[in-house]
Amino acid sequence: MFKNIVIAKVDKSYEQPLGLFIDNEFIKSRDEATIESLNPSTGEKIASFYAASEADVDAAVAAARRAFPSWSHTSPEERGILLRKLGDLIEQEKELLAAIETLDSGKPYKSNALGDLDQIISLTRYFAGAADKFSKGEYIPVNKDKYALTLKEPYGVVGQVVPWNYPLAMASWKIQGCLAAGNTIVIKPAENTSLSLLYAAQLFKKAGFPPGVVNIIPGHGGIAGSRLASHPDVDKIAFTGSTAVGQKIMSLAALSNLKAVTLECGGKSPAVIFDDASIEEAVKWTSMGIFYNSGQNCTANSRIYVQESIYEEFLSRFIKHVTTNWTFGEAADPFDNECTVGPVISKTQYDRIQSYIEHAQKNENLKTTQIGAAAPGCNGFFIPPTIVTDVPQDSKLMKEEIFGPVAVISRFRDYGEVIKLANDTNYGLAAAVFTESIRQANRFAHDIKAGTVWVNSSNDEEISVPFGGYKMSGIGRELGQSGMDAYTQTKGIHVNMAKL
């Protein structure tokens, strides 16, 4: 049920769990089906882990249901204590968990994976402190003869489905707030990045979470994910991933027991750079916003609009900055301290991103600049930082989520034009604006149809600030107080003191 894995690049050796985690134990799947996890930087097999069948999902849901009555009646203070213990354990295992993420997902160890773990530790401690603060209801004095109370109560059994681009971080965004609110969980990690969450399962048990409170069931989306979304004994489903799959999740939830749904889906986030902006700052932030995590971010600023008077200067400085700062490193190795751009997650994703680049070059005749190349003989799924310029608004590259290290840049004349361009999308997850005018920034922040707006920065989420999308980018919010509110229902209690 475990495999010894050596990560020589960071001098780590550990026992990787391979089973489903149900009732605080690792077990085989009922049909003993497995999934291979590949190292995207080499294409080599890391391990095979068990894949949940529908029967396994049923078993995990049953375990969560058994655990719910007792768990939901623990005090918020008790739940906070366990989350604090969990945060301490994650901190102790920080370097190993980051190394597993790098091995399994390809994200650069020093510049990316360790940062993800820092956020996870902070987030866990945030919800540990929030457990006894955001769970309170209100007292409403209606009149002298009547008052009302509101209670925030957990849903019950919550199903969660998380993506491959931030395996442990996206799981933590969902798990920690959900536990703080008093729910029990059945969570399905992505098929190709399940290893870090399976390892972290041991930390929940070690922290003292009772059996059945957290159940982790890796498996195929069409089997385990679909069963979880349609399960009649799951009270809520939370999903992060593509819009297309989010639509399926919502449909299954509606057609089963009308369970509550939180969705964080795709994006095509604009970054708008006005001519009064600090070009140096805009270059730094927008390059990070598209090339960090190899562009595999729902909030990546994959549409960059630059005011025409500074367009050429911005483009020149952008290319120079990317050439210097965004690189595979000499060996195209995510464990190399010089590596800031890792491989994309899989051959399927590699081919998909390459098809957009080829479309830009061959079908639309757009100028395309690629910076750097993988080392000769490299078998990993490395795509160089790619910059496509003067892209028309009706281009496929402007309309569709590429989800890779591809910056799409265009120019605009004035505010009226760019706000129309920026809002011309089915998505609305995030947006960024660069300007030294507080009035212009304020106007943009109000006019843009997006759940998150960054002013003079990009992709710097804060765990205390709600996060979620407009339009087809999702439903509901995570992080901050919303990260607990999303997992509670409000009950109103009317108390009459008068006699008829």
Catalytic (active-site) positions: 264
Q: Cβ of 177: how many Cβ atoms within 10 Å?
A: 30
DSSP for residue 467 = B
Q: How far apart are CA 44 and CA 170, in angstroms?
A: 25
Q: Which of 43, 47, 96, 95 is nearest to 344 (CA)?
A: 43
Q: In sequence order, what are the residues at sequence separation of 6 or more whose Cβ sits closer than 8 angstroms to the Cβ of residue 432?
A: 269, 270, 271, 272, 285, 286, 289, 301, 453, 454, 455, 457, 458, 459
Write b or e for each residue in 5-37: b if 16 or more Cβ atoms lie within 10 A of its Cβ, otherwise e.
Answer: bebeeeeeebebbbbbbbbbebeebeeebebeb
3-state helix, strand, coil in the chain (%, to 5): 40, 25, 35
Q: How far apart are CA 29 and CA 24, in angstroms?
A: 15
Determine contact, residues 492/152, Cβ cutoff 8 Å.
no
Residue 230 CA: distances (Å) to CA of 61, 66, 213, 253: 12, 19, 20, 5
Q: Cβ of 268: how many Cβ atoms within 10 Å?
A: 25
Q: How far apart are CA 324 and CA 459, in angstroms?
A: 20
DSSP for residue 310 = G
Helix (H, G, I), strand (E, B) or coil at 266: coil
